[in-house]
A and B are shown apart, each in its own frame.
Chain A
Amino acid sequence: MNLISLLASNLKFEPIKFVESLKYMGQGLLVIFIVIGLIVLLTMAINKIFTKTSKKAKANEDKTE
């Protein structure tokens, strides 16, 4: 038995499944961009909050000195 006949005998091939799975691709990509987008926004927010807080703390330290 050569390799091609071995492949052909054991593998199923249903091209229609590609089309059927496209919905998962759409859903998956949508969810990943929503989650990552949310993380981007939250990261920007914590960056701002903690940068302000650390600047204030530094200013207070300078005053007391």
Chain B
Amino acid sequence: MDFFKILYENLLNFSWQQGVMILIGLILIFLAIKKEMEPTLLLPMGFGAILVNIPGSDALVGPIETLYNAGIANELFPLLLFIGIGAMIDFGPLLTNPKLMLFGAAAQFGIFFTLCMASMFFDPKDAAAIAIIGAADGPTSIAAAIKLGSKYVGAITVAAYSYMALVPLIQPPIIKLLTTKKERLIRMPYEQKSVSKATRIAFPIIITAVVSAIIPQATSLIGFLMFGNLIRECGVLDSLSETAQKVLANLITIVLGLSVSFNMVADKFLTPDTLLILGLGLIAFIFDTAGGVLLAKFINLFTKNKINPMIGAAGISAFPMSGRVVHKMALKEDNQNFLLMHSIGVNVSGQIASVVAGGIILSLFMGA
């Protein structure tokens, strides 16, 4: 009889909390495969959640912990991922119309509003880390949460990536609520301007210098993002650019997802705080969207050439989903209204603005 004990004795250590976490892992895998929601990250995270919640699992205090310490605890993986993201981004639409960047700034409103909301429930540093879910940018959320020493890295990462995937569901009702049909029908002709190679090369260098000089806490985030973009634009490192966009980004994404699951152990993750963090993350995305749309409406009060306020919503960093959502909404209202170049311009500006906002939050709370 003792011989058969080996078959079931581990199962006796199984708790219902671990069962719930395994279920959450399966849901993440389902969403990744069936719904194609951020599959590159949700699938490794989901599988990681299963690995670390099996009773007596040697994966947790072993490879997962090693990966976590090697790349998350020291912020290395999010920063390396930023090189890949920077190499993927074409700032061209933004460079032809730099004023679009203001919408990127306005669409960070959700971060600061959520900070106020979260501070009612959490300590200042945890509240700040939770607020950065509103950056709609996974690497920034992870890096900031780690820098702030938050114990909610797992929940914050799950919230950030889940809501990024849900942008097509979250944004349209908010945009519709805040705009009139007439506003959504505003057409914005796109003037095709060529951007010189020198401008494309100077842009990442200048952005890095300006942002780092004013907000040193954002230096590594903006620096790695812009380094990736410089590789893309310099014109002499095509193979490196391709590697950064594909191989590096893919490789880091695989290990990033698994590493994050280190924080998805039942007793750390399955708390009322996690539910609250998920709720606050949703608030952040809603108010980000509102901030961008409302700035566009405000600008329209003073300008002759009206802006379609929907493009303001693309200022959240979720790239390129948010830009595409706005474009699709415009086409739904009027099949001849092409807002793609404007919305993508605003969307890439959101990428810069979210890093700046992350840096501001860090500078306000790192010493707190």
Contact = CB atoms under 8 A, between A and B. Distances in A.
Contact of B120 (A3, A14, A38): A14
Interface residues of B, number: 45
B174 to A, nearest CB: 19
A49 B190 CA distance: 23
Interface string A1-28: 0010011001111110110111011011
Contact of A50 (B117, B202, B215, B352): B202
Nearest to A41: B98
A3 B105 CA distance: 38
A32 B360 contact: yes
A36 B195 contact: no
A22 B117 CA distance: 10
A44 B94 CA distance: 11
B203 A40 contact: no
B360 A7 contact: no
Contacts of A38: 210, 214
A59 interface: no
A10 B273 contact: yes
Contacts of B353: 32, 36
A11 B276 contact: yes
Nearest to B123: A12
A25 to B, nearest CB: 4
B119 A20 contact: yes
Contact of A18 (B120, B203, B214): B120
Given A28-B360, A50-B202, A35 B116 contact: no
A43 B352 CA distance: 13
Nearest to B361: A28
Contacts of A50: 196, 198-199, 202
Given A10-B272, A17-B119, A36-B356, A43 B127 contact: no
A38 B352 CA distance: 13
A22 B199 contact: no
Interface string B22-62: 00000000000000000000000000000000000000000
A28 B198 contact: no
A38 to B, nearest CB: 6
B312 interface: no
Contacts of A44: 98
Given A27-B360, A28-B108, A46-B203, 13 more contacts: A11-B121, A18-B120, A22-B116, A24-B115, A27-B364, A32-B353, A34-B214, A35-B211, A35-B214, A43-B98, A43-B101, A47-B95, A54-B198
6 contacts: A35-B214, A37-B102, A39-B101, A40-B101, A46-B202, A47-B98
Nearest 9 Cβ contacts at the A-B interface: A43-B98, A25-B112, A36-B105, A50-B198, A21-B116, A17-B119, A21-B119, A50-B196, A50-B199
Interface of B: 94-95, 98-99, 101-102, 104-105, 108-109, 111-113, 115-117, 119-121, 127, 195-196, 198-199, 202-203, 206-207, 210-211, 214-215, 271-273, 275-276, 349, 352-353, 356-357, 360-361, 364
